[in-house]
Amino acid sequence: MTEGFDRGRHAAPANWADAFPWLPSVVSDEQPDGWPNVALDSTPELREERISAIATSLISRLSNRALGEVLPTLPPSTTIASLSLSTRGQNMVHRAGYRTTGDLDELSPLDMLQWRGMGAGTLDDIIQSLVDRSAQHAARGYARDITDGARRLTPKGSHCGLGQDAPQQTPYAADLRTLADWAAFIGATEEPVLAGPLPPWAPAGAKEALDRLLKLVPRDIEDPSGRRADVATKLTDALEGLDDRQLDILARRMFADYPATLDELGRELGVTRERIRQIESKERAHLSSLIAPGGALADIGASVRHAIGQVMPLDDLLELFPSLGQWVAGVEQPAWRVLDRIDDGYEIENGWCLTPSRTAVRADTQVELQELADQYGVVRLEAITLVKTIHGERQAEVTAAWLDSCGGYVVDGGHVFSRTSSVGDYAAAILSVTGTPLGSQEIVDRFAFERSVGSLRNAMSVDDRFKRIDRDRWALTEWGMDAYAGIRSKIREVVTQSGGTAQLDDLIESITSRYSVSASSVVTYASAPPFETRDGIVRVADTKRGERKTPARTRRLFRRDDAWAYRLRISTEHLRGSGSVAPIAVASLLNLEYGETRLLETPLGPQTIAWTGTQPQFGTIRRFLMEGDMQADTEAFLVIRDDGTFAFEPARHLMDKSLEDALTLVGARAGLQGDKARAALAVAVGLPATTPVTSIIAAYRERGDGEIADLITDIRQELEAGQSSERVEHSAEVDDILSLL
């Protein structure tokens, strides 16, 4: 049963690339010493440096690969206790229930990050220890199969890059000479030969030659080498050298939606799980080399990543690259799936192509919507630029589909509601979009999920954003409507019914014919906020058009005595070393223009903040996370000081105490009370220290920090009067109270 599996085993590997077959595909070709090909028995200093580099590459580039695949020379019988781990690292692995390195075979670095209490520094310590032990066993000749798959699977001298091996002569050489001769004749020897069109007075022969050349398609051009082929064919060719068992292992492990375990395959094929792991690791490394710089499919890999941008429908990608939809023989998968499993630079999931991962793109989507959202969490669908499609007429439809797949967003016509977790937020967003008062039932009817009219009424009755203008008719407070149907209300109603604009004369006639109001009063109200009258046309004034959010109005960004601090939730992408999107206000703080990059000094080296994409971007903060052994789903502050330096500060844990939690969320000093606490909360959003509490609450709510506004509302009396207060518990429904009025 095992015949053929043990062929190719030899003595100890000669260099680092032999011990870690995937290493050349992730280490830059620009490394001056070409160290992956250097012998393993290097000096202790160089060895420590290379162990660290390999661990970093494994965590940041191969974080979703099983350890058994990327560490093929690590014996499964090695005990965890024998590794050179820190006490915390030993405890972490043992607490998770693992005793030998073989127990870790099926785990990836991303899996380990999900362990309770696991931080970036501890993960790095564990991975470095495993890499070090792998190198030790490789140097001592630990048996494994590392046959030269690349030379076996790729024809000698084959170079499959675009544009190579072009025939020296084509049937169209005469046409090219005709155009060149004509250009030389008229003295245009520096002009492109195929620039066209030729002037009317050019000879017919030259025009015909250019026309034939411009109509060339690939099949018209000879391929004497016979190596021109689509992606699926090249992938099939690369797999031709594998036997049926090797193909079966790849198909059921690397390319399967639900991979078989090493034990299952080992039992079926009559070999050890270790042998299965070695074969898979070797072939995976070979396939990864195909898309590495200089690899046979490097061009298509780079082109796909560039075409995707951040998020694109799979159908669009297949329109751009039709050959990706063709079948790859041997593993019985379409070419796009094979490339997806080879290339860690992007992933394809549920019909979406995502760079670098679904988790990262969802986080970027959240940041973009937070930046674009108005005070009610409403975003115009057309303003979202993250989603890419080749069909411009379907942009809104594709963007809406992506937001729906993310969950947590509601698309209503041309608007996105980004805050719908509470009925109050949802109702405020609906009113801001409709622009006219609505009844409770009308609002509930617009909800995308089931809610009761009673719960909505209760929420709006205690929320300062709403005003009841009739027994059961609600408006936004900012509209300035009275508690009865006054002139303003009727003007807004007529303008809305007329499609957003109304003739002033028609407006006067409509209102004065039904109410005892003078024409001059209608004119006065129609010309004052929230309306404007231009050339006899009345509309709702747009006072915020073109306005960019300032730091003081930017969610999660808070002022200190000498700095601005941006509160960030740490994700597994940050632990891997990814950057994160920054609000536009950060660019304003640094006077950063599009296309520019800033380096801010920190104790751990310069921190990059760049604006080279659709939004500014913080560079990686992994070094800070490793120093503090930070975990995912915790919060920290990225601090930009007035002197141009940068700092990283972990946030305190929330205590379920309104005042302390509010101070924690804005990054203020703990333990503040009374006027000092109120001053800190006011200054954090750019207000004077003596600002009334009601104005502070309004400022937080307007900028989108609703959770902080709610906390301050809980302690409003304490901040205003210096005395403790309890949350008021209502014992009666608001409807019951209203019925008595």
Please indicate, yes or no, whether residues 675 and 630 belong to a single structural domain of this protein. no
pLDDT of residue 308: 93
Asked, for residue 666, whether it belongs to a domain, the answer is: yes
DSSP structural state of residue 128: H
- Write out pLDDT tens, residues 282-301: 888 888 887 777 777 778 88
Least confident of 8-17, 41-50, 369-378, 723-732: 723-732
pLDDT at 145 over 50: no
Q: How far is the C-alpha of 83 from the C-alpha of 129, rounded, in Å?
A: 6
pLDDT at 360 over 60: yes
Cα–Cα distances in Å, from 430 out to 401, 439, 460?
20, 12, 13
- Residue 537: partners with Cβ closer than 8 Å, 6 or more residues away: 501, 502, 503, 504
Mean pLDDT of 270-280: 88
Please indicate, yes or no, whether residues 687 and 636 belong to a single structural domain of this protein. no
Three-point CA angle 623, 628, 633, nearest 5°: 95
Asked, for residue 456, whether it belongs to a domain, the answer is: no
Please indicate, yes or no, whether residues 336 and 251 belong to a single structural domain of this protein. yes
516 phi and psi angles, rounded to 5 deg: -85, 70
- Write out pLDDT tens, residues 477-516: 999 876 545 677 788 888 888 888 899 999 988 878 766 5
pLDDT at 163 over 80: no
Please indicate, yes or no, whether residues 43 and 120 belong to a single structural domain of this protein. yes
Please indicate, yes or no, whether residues 616 and 709 belong to a single structural domain of this protein. no
pLDDT of residue 2: 36
Asked, for residue 317, whether it belongs to a domain, the answer is: yes
Q: Position 622: which residue type? A: R
pLDDT at 378 over 90: yes
Asked, for residue 613, whether it belongs to a domain, the answer is: yes
State the pLDDT confidence band at 155, using cuts at 50, 70 and 90. very low
| Strand duo 635-641 + 347-349: pairing | unpaired
More confident residue, 98 or 518: 98
pLDDT at 725 over 50: no
Cα–Cα distances in Å, from 516 out to 482, 484, 497, 509, 687?
17, 15, 21, 12, 44
State the pLDDT confidence band at 12, using cuts at 50, 70 and 90. very low
Q: pLDDT over 70 for what percent of the chain?
A: 85
Of the residues 644, 666, 701, the one at which a domain ends: 644
pLDDT at 726 over 70: no
Please indicate, yes or no, whether residues 629 and 658 belong to a single structural domain of this protein. no
pLDDT of residue 241: 77
Please indicate, yes or no, whether residues 136 and 20 belong to a single structural domain of this protein. yes
pLDDT at 153 over 50: no
HSE-CB of 153 using CA atoms within 13 angstroms: 26
Please indicate, yes or no, whether residues 614 and 712 belong to a single structural domain of this protein. no
pLDDT of residue 531: 82
Q: How far is the C-alpha of 517 from the C-alpha of 281, rounded, in Å?
A: 84
Domain range enclosing 584: 566-644
Asked, for residue 529, whether it belongs to a domain, the answer is: yes
Of the residues 594, 628, 644, the one at which a domain ends: 644
pLDDT of residue 369: 94
pLDDT of residue 171: 63
Q: pLDDT over 90 for what percent of the chain?
A: 42
Task: Report yes or no: 575 and 120 within 8 Å, Cβ to Cβ.
Answer: yes
More confident residue, 292 or 545: 292
Q: How far is the C-alpha of 355 from the C-alpha of 312, rounded, in Å?
A: 9
Please indicate, yes or no, whether residues 85 and 23 belong to a single structural domain of this protein. yes
pLDDT at 147 over 50: no
More confident residue, 179 or 376: 376
pLDDT at 723 over 50: no
Asked, for residue 219, whether it belongs to a domain, the answer is: no
Mean pLDDT of 676-685: 95
Q: How far is the C-alpha of 470 from the C-alpha of 537, rounded, in Å?
A: 28
State the pLDDT confidence band at 162, using cuts at 50, 70 and 90. very low
Asked, for residue 349, whether it belongs to a domain, the answer is: yes
pLDDT of residue 152: 28
- Write out pLDDT tens, residues 630-645: 999 999 999 999 999 9
Asked, for residue 380, whether it belongs to a domain, the answer is: no
- Write out pLDDT tens, residues 404-444: 999 999 999 899 999 998 999 999 999 999 999 999 999 99
Strands laid side by side in the 557-559 sheet: 557-559, 563-569, 635-641, 646-650
- Write out pLDDT tens, residues 603-657: 999 999 998 766 789 999 999 999 999 999 999 999 999 999 999 999 999 999 9
Least confident of 229-243, 514-528, 562-576, 661-675: 514-528
Mean pLDDT of 321-327: 91
Report for 1-5, 165-169, 189-193: range of highest mean pLDDT = 189-193
Q: Both tokens of residue 396?
A: 């809104």
Please indicate, yes or no, whether residues 134 and 57 belong to a single structural domain of this protein. yes
pLDDT of residue 28: 55
Chain-centre distance for alpha carbon 438? 37
Report the mean per-residue pLDDT for the chain. 83
Please indicate, yes or no, whether residues 698 and 670 belong to a single structural domain of this protein. yes
More confident residue, 369 or 19: 369
More confident residue, 174 or 356: 356
Of the residues 93, 109, 140, the one at which a domain ends: 140
Task: Report yes or no: 664 and 652 within 8 Å, Cβ to Cβ.
Answer: yes
More confident residue, 2 or 168: 168
Please indicate, yes or no, whether residues 350 and 240 belong to a single structural domain of this protein. yes
pLDDT of residue 199: 81
Q: How many structural domains is the chain composed of?
A: 5
State the pLDDT confidence band at 542, using cuts at 50, 70 and 90. low
